[in-house]
Amino acid sequence: MALPTFALHDFDASTGSHQDNIFRLREAAHSHGFFYLSGHGIPESLIAGAFRVSREFFDRPEAVKREIENWHSPHFRGYTRTGSELTRGARDWREQLDFGAERPVRTASADAPPWALLEGPNQWPADIPALKPVVLELQAQLTEVASRLLRALATALGQDAEVFTPLIGETPTLLLKLIRYPGSDFADSTQGVGAHKDTGLLTFVLQHEQSGLEVQDGEGWIAVPPRAGTLVVNIGEMLELASGGYLHANVHRVVTPAGQNDRLSIAYFLNPHLDARVRPIALPAALQAAARPSAHDPDNPLLEQVGLNLLKSQLRSHPEVARRYYAGVAGAVAAKGAEHA
């Protein structure tokens, strides 16, 4: 089964087939939780530039890359070496550069919530000056696309187009990852990234040339090959929660390329602002009847409080950063998660 493809302008009210396209979008987001998006308006030159600086960085010696390792950042920003990030306790065979919104550190105070430290500046490689402007421009343009798509999804659910806007506010929590999956001949595991659901509202994946992304379908997996000019879109758990369980956050994974092949991708994640609390909207009766209870990992429960939920996920995925900067709060965060299990 192939995933559907939409063009972003399909959802404009001025389009003659607007209502049909909105209905198809709702069905895709409800059933698969994944689809391709074309016509997004992001210049191909910008995307190509992002992959070019990504390749330039990952071709650097390991010692040079580790100068901006995320171990140096309490905000979980910077370089993660191959095998040091975990999904469900197992090592992911990828290396990556993580960039959030470029903001100052929050003012420290005794009553600041533990997730306040997630906000702060990025780490940038000093020897690739082109990387910072490319990443920040791509992040800004993807955020605009995500905002338009959120409004279309709100309309598809019979809501005012701006119903999800307060979750984002003026300071949405953004993450953009430059990722490389090295080729592997490992016989015991093909885990590039283990099977999981994304935490936030929306995820966009920009694929380069090598396949590897797969989406769960019943008992099997659907390959999501690269398609020129498209983003792969998937619904996150926070949007599933906000939609009362109607929109579907689907399980997906990345399979490690074989042999000497490697795979580049760029992943963008839109989350609500850190202080938001996500609660379900009131759906029309027909949609509410078709909504399904969210199936969350009991070992990693979804929390309504966005900052706490994101911090919990980061602490699990990056234990070295957790030990260095969050030793005093990690236990409390874990306990809070256990209350909701």
Give the HSE-up count for residue 330: Cα atoms under 13 Å, Cβ half-sphere: 16
pLDDT in tens, the chain (341 residues): 689 999 999 898 766 677 899 999 999 999 999 999 999 999 999 999 999 999 999 999 999 999 999 999 999 999 999 888 878 778 888 999 999 999 999 877 778 888 999 999 999 999 999 999 999 999 999 999 999 999 999 999 999 999 999 999 999 999 999 999 998 766 566 778 889 999 999 999 999 999 899 999 887 999 999 999 999 999 999 999 999 999 999 999 999 887 778 999 999 999 999 999 999 999 999 999 999 876 666 767 889 999 999 999 999 889 899 999 998 776 667 556 545 54
8-state DSSP, 278? -
Confirm whether 247 is domain-assigned: yes
Confirm whether 334 is domain-assigned: no
Query: How many domains is the chain partitioned into structurally?
Result: 1
Confirm whether 330 is domain-assigned: no
Confirm whether 337 is domain-assigned: no
Residue 341 has a pLDDT of 46
- What's the token pair of residue 180? 């490389």
Give the HSE-up count for residue 261: Cα atoms under 13 Å, Cβ half-sphere: 12
How many whole angstroms separate alpha carbon 122 and alpha carbon 15? 40
How many whole angstroms separate alpha carbon 35 and alpha carbon 251? 13
| CATH code of the domain in which 233 resides | 2.60.120.330
H helix count then E strand count, the chain: 10, 14
Confirm whether 331 is domain-assigned: no
Q: Which residue type is seen at 297?
A: D
- Is this model's pTM higher than 0.75 or not? yes
Confirm whether 335 is domain-assigned: no
Confirm whether 18 is domain-assigned: yes
Do 18 and 162 contact (CB within 8 A), yes or no? no
Let me know if 339 is exposed, middle or buried by CB neighbors in 10 A (0-12, 13-18, 19+): exposed
Give one DSSP letter per residue of 197-260, joined into a string: ---SSEEEEEE-S---EEEEETTEEEE----TT-EEEEE-HHHHHHTTT-S----EEEEPPBTT
Confirm whether 151 is domain-assigned: yes
Geometric angle at alpha carbon 177, from 172 and 242, rounded to 5°:
40
- Which domain range does residue 124 map to? 5-296
